[in-house]
Amino acid sequence: MNNSSSGEGEIKQEQQPEQQPEQQNVEIKDNELKVEDLTKEINNVDDGRLCKHKDNCIISVLKTLGRGFIIGYGLRASLALVTGIVMRRLYKNPRKLIDQSILHKDPIGFGLFLAFYTGGYKAVLCLLRNIRKKDDGINAAIAGFISGGAMAFSKSTEMALYLFARALESLFNAGVKRGYLKSYKHGDSLLFCLCTAILFHAFVWEPNSVRPSYLKFLSKVAGSKRDLGKITSVIREMYYQQKALTH
């Protein structure tokens, strides 16, 4: 009996060292999880401010205004400067080169547009958050509408149409997400066909309603030997003559 009990004691002593590393690993993992949870809690602490930018609202808006102007003016002025030197060879007349690039109204206007488009949006958004004491989609919509007035500094039909298309796309995606609309696999192809039909109908029957740049593009696609304007005018004339004979 003593031999058996002593044998069991030896077995227990042999098993204990094997269990200790496992227990240590478990404890280490538990501590790591506690540290992660504590870190998440610290990061998610809400100080009660609706605006989450680091600086106060005024400084943050001023930084955004300055950044927008520097980027917008810098890009447009650099492009105008390079174009004037390389394409127009204005390096022979430095004064004219500066007037038509660095000091031209287009780069300055585009810089003001980008500054007030971004900074104005942030300013109105911060103002509405503090007035309404909440942050929701209404604030964003009002701020976006007001900041859109920045286009007065640099008017661009192309940009307005581009944003209009992006806005329709966003509305469609929101409708699909909420279940109001359905998304089809070949919907983009169908939309392209519809738009092409409208454009080509206008090109043939209402050429004055089509932008001149698009008319030039279609003429280039058709080939320089073909005058699409004359072809479409002949089609319209034949149609109206046939219509007059039938009546």
> Rounded to an integer, what distance in angstroms lies between the CA atom of residue 228 and that of residue 210?
13
Residue 88 three-state SS: coil
**Whether residue 199 is found in the same domain as residue 149:** no
Read off the pLDDT of residues 36-46 as tens digits, 9 standing for 90 and up: 655 544 444 44
In this predicted structure, what is the pLDDT of residue 11? 47
**Whether residue 63 is found in the same domain as residue 149:** yes
In this predicted structure, what is the pLDDT of residue 141? 93
pTM above 0.85, yes or no: no
**Whether residue 207 is found in the same domain as residue 149:** no
In this predicted structure, what is the pLDDT of residue 48? 63
Last residue of a domain, one of 101, 132, 154: 154
Question: How many other CB atoms sit within 10 Å of the CB of residue 128?
Answer: 21
In this predicted structure, what is the pLDDT of residue 22? 58
Which residues are CB-contacts of 63 (< 8 A; sequence separation ≥ 6)? 55
**Whether residue 67 is found in the same domain as residue 148:** yes
**3-state SS string for 166-192:** HHHHHHHHHHHHCCCCCCCCCHHHHHH
CB 144 within 8 A of CB 174: no
**Whether residue 78 is found in the same domain as residue 147:** yes
In this predicted structure, what is the pLDDT of residue 122? 94
**Whether residue 132 is found in the same domain as residue 219:** no
Residue 139 inside a domain? The answer is yes
**Whether residue 74 is found in the same domain as residue 125:** yes
In this predicted structure, what is the pLDDT of residue 209? 84
In this predicted structure, what is the pLDDT of residue 152? 92
Residue 3 inside a domain? The answer is no
Residue 27 inside a domain? The answer is no
> Rounded to an integer, what distance in angstroms lies between the CA atom of residue 95 and that of residue 102?
10
**Whether residue 112 is found in the same domain as residue 198:** no
In this predicted structure, what is the pLDDT of residue 211? 83
Last residue of a domain, one of 130, 154, 178: 154
Residue 172 inside a domain? The answer is no
Residues of the chain with pLDDT under 70: 1-48, 222-227, 247
**Whether residue 126 is found in the same domain as residue 213:** no
In this predicted structure, what is the pLDDT of residue 21? 56
Residue 76 inside a domain? The answer is yes
Concatenated DSSP letters of 77-110: HHHHHHHHHHTS-GGGSHHHHHHTTTS-HHHHHH
**Whether residue 79 is found in the same domain as residue 132:** yes
Please give the residue range of the domain that contains residue 95: 57-154
> Rounded to an integer, what distance in angstroms lies between the CA atom of residue 123 and that of residue 131?
12
**Whether residue 193 is found in the same domain as residue 237:** yes
Read off the pLDDT of residues 219-236 as tens digits, 9 standing for 90 and up: 777 666 666 777 778 878
The number of folded domains in the chain is 2
In this predicted structure, what is the pLDDT of residue 116? 95
In this predicted structure, what is the pLDDT of residue 20? 56
Residue 124 inside a domain? The answer is yes
Residue 237 inside a domain? The answer is yes
Residue 22 inside a domain? The answer is no
Last residue of a domain, one of 107, 132, 154: 154
In this predicted structure, what is the pLDDT of residue 200? 84
**Whether residue 143 is found in the same domain as residue 62:** yes
